[in-house]
A = this chain, B = another copy of it.
């Protein structure tokens, strides 16, 4: 079964790991958000691609939630000793090797797709991992800054997320470069040729939202012959993982499973999804979702262990099959 997943980083990676465990999921393509990417210390860092590679390749630290297992932090400490900013980014020594390889290949002229394929030759993630785009896109977040004449300032998403821990009000989210970005090779075909397209339970704004911000990806999702189903990243009153609520507030979307479904919108009404999985505790929202033209289903949506995650993935595939 050809499954194409749109995914952010950590949460999406765990979901795909569960999906990969299903017998029927023998041909998975993952389209990864790259709008989190950042150049730091002269190195090109792709947090979501790396989370996917490490998690699917067995090299991630699942307790910490991001980065490499058995990591050390000497380079980071030394950079701080040199007084080099920023000091807030979580740059592990093992992780850094990935950035060094990627940067060297990028500076030698290879595309991000080519670099990703080269890195995956080591990690063997068991899926085809594609960046959403080979073009540079960087999400910036607008925050208040009284020292600026405008009273506001745009900072890189990583600074908002990692340094500020999304704890200050986001006035807006700007994916810089997205209007000029094209889908990376293979992305459009992966969507059009899939038996089912799945939105992982990733951030609807800065992960799935930016993937859909690439015009030809959005067009492919709208035109895909296969059903498109999503899993809500909001369970009960907040996000399962990460700080999606802050990002939803920035774009004026309520922090509920139904509101996120409505934000994506029904494909039959010009939106992006046909079906939507919510957690069982959000069963009261099913009618609201259905009235938006989206077929909902309530199942346990907490990725508490690999088995639970695999059951979630199976439910997504079943919803897709029912909609076909």
Asked if A79 contacts B101 (CB within 8 A), the reply is: yes
Partner-contacting stretch, out of A70-78, A138-146, A314-322: A70-78
Contact of A42 among B72, B79, B98, B104 (CB under 8 A): B104
Q: How large is the interface on A (under 10, 10 to 19, 20 to 34, 35 or more residues)?
A: 20 to 34
Tell me which residues across on chain B come within 8 A of A77, comparing CB atoms. 94, 97
Asked if A82 contacts B96 (CB within 8 A), the reply is: no
Q: What is the total number of copies of this protein in its complex?
A: 2
Tell me which residues across on chain B come within 8 A of A79, comparing CB atoms. 97, 100-101
Binary contact track A87-118/B, C-beta < 8 Å → 1, others 0: 00000011011101101100100000000000
Take A82-B122, A83-B122, A94-B78 as given contacts and tell me if A103 and B72 are in contact as well, using a CB distance cutoff of 8 Å: no
Binary contact track A109-152/B, C-beta < 8 Å → 1, others 0: 00000000001011000000000000000000000000000000
Q: How far is the CB of A87 from chain B (nearest CB, A)?
A: 12
Asked if B42 contacts A81 (CB within 8 A), the reply is: no
Contact of A75 among B84, B93, B121, B122 (CB under 8 A): B93
Contact of A74 among B78, B93, B104 (CB under 8 A): B93
Which of A78, A98, A103: most chain B Cβ within 10 A? A78
Asked if A84 contacts B96 (CB within 8 A), the reply is: no
Contact of A100 among B75, B83, B119, B121 (CB under 8 A): B75
Which of A42, A72, A83, A98: most chain B Cβ within 10 A? A42
Q: Whole-angstrom distance between the alpha carbons of A103 and B94 in the complex?
A: 19
Tell me which residues across on chain B come within 8 A of A298, comparing CB atoms. none
Q: Whole-angstrom distance between the alpha carbons of A98 and B122 in the complex?
A: 27
Starting from the known contacts A72-B93, A79-B100, 5 additional A-B residue pairs (CB-CB under 8 Å) come to A43-B100, A72-B72, A75-B75, A75-B97, A83-B121
7 closest Cβ pairs, A-B complex: A78-B97, A42-B104, A74-B93, A93-B93, A75-B97, A74-B94, A78-B94
**Which A residues are within 8 Å of any B CB, using their own CB?**
41-43, 71-72, 74-75, 77-79, 81-84, 93-94, 96-98, 100-101, 103-104, 107, 119, 121-122
